[in-house]
Amino acid sequence: MWRGLLPGVAAAVVAVAPEAGLAGAGTAALHVLPREVVQGQACEVQVRVVDPAQVWATAGGRAVLLYRTREGYRGFVGTSPHTPPGALLVRVVVATRGHQVELVGQVRVRAGRFGERHLRVAPELLDPRLAAYERRRVEAATARPLPDPRWAGPFRLPVRGPVVSPYGVRNVYNGRPYGHHLGVDVRAKPGTPVRAAQHGQVVLAERLPLGGNTVILDHGAGVFSSYLHLSALAVRVGQQVRAGQVIGYVGSTGRSTAPHLHWGLRVNGIPVDPLPWTARGRRTPP
């Protein structure tokens, strides 16, 4: 049994081709774990290879970044409220010694139970051009992820305080629906230090129209964390940070109605619930 990097995950073989657990005359095997996730949680992909190989993976048609391990390769697949409930297929192509084999696994996605939150904001902050600009900035900052994981152990809560808006709730701004809240909001006093959830590299540190003062950290293996609405930044792009290092301070900049931290996590481009990645969230494994 392999030891996974997702906190609190126990290994389980979901689907391996062929039935014996090996494919391509015993050259490779695919493990996807856990068996089932709720929208917003993540799973882990492990590929065991006997010989040196090139490996590519997709999940739901999206590329999955894999990194080398002693046993083979490993990567992570995120889900969100936009991921359809049911079977999410993971496809892996293994090419070795002129031979190519495809392995197919799956994880079952269960529908999450998401409530609603109703907020009043300045009408100009609902301009779709602002959201489009911010999306481009985030996509550019996260386009070249570090290949290997930088973190060790569970992620840390960036700031202590009550979660006032959980992951996945539906946003209703000025009486109109505006999609899901793809992070968690933690209430804290203005100026409270915000700390890096894990080791990583700063790939964005600037003021955005909706996120306000924002920091994004690259933790490797396609995993990024984001920290929004800060009153001030304490890091710069390209800087290496350690878990627990101060990266900014709680504020209410951007599209915010009160001082708080919006903390988000992206896994290969999918915004997931960050709490299951923490020690606190181990009771709800990704």
* pTM listed for this prediction: 0.89
Instruction: Give the DSSP per-residue string, 35-83.
Output: SEEETT-EEEEEEEESS--EEEEEETTEEE-EEE-SSEEEEEEE--TTS
Its CATH class, for the domain covering 116-283, is: mainly beta
Separation of alpha carbons 212 and 205, rounded Å: 10
Q: What integer best gives the mean pLDDT of the chain?
A: 89
Dihedral Cα 243, 59, 79, 282, nearest 10 deg? -50
Comma-separated ranges of CATH 2.70.70.10 domains in the chain: 116-283
So what's the pLDDT on residue 257?
94
Written as one letter, the residue type at 181 is H
Comma-separated ranges of CATH 2.60.40.10 domains in the chain: 28-110
pLDDT at 9 over 70: no
Mean pLDDT over residues 273-285, rounded?
A: 71
Per-residue pLDDT of 44-76, as tens digits, reads 999 998 877 799 999 999 999 999 999 899 999
Domain 28-110 architecture: Sandwich (2.60)
3-state secondary structure of 208: strand
Separation of alpha carbons 182 and 131, rounded Å: 14
Separation of alpha carbons 133 and 75, rounded Å: 29
Per-residue pLDDT of 216-274, as tens digits, reads 999 999 999 999 999 999 999 999 999 999 999 999 999 999 999 999 999 999 999 99
Residue 14: pLDDT band (50, 70, 90) is very low
Read off φ and ψ for residue 133, nearest 5 degrees: -60, -45
Whole-angstrom Cα Rg for the chain: 19
Contacts of 171 (CB under 8 A, 6+ apart): 116, 117, 119, 177, 178, 179, 180, 181
The two tokens of residue 122 are: 């300045």
So what's the pLDDT on residue 6?
52
First vs last C-alpha separation in the chain: 18
So what's the pLDDT on residue 89?
97
Per-residue pLDDT of 150-185, as tens digits, reads 998 999 999 999 999 999 999 999 999 999 999 999
Count of all residues that appear for the chain in the document: 286
116, β-bridge pairs: 170
Q: What single DSSP character describes residue 278?
A: B
Say if CB 64 and CB 78 are below 8 A apart. Answer: no
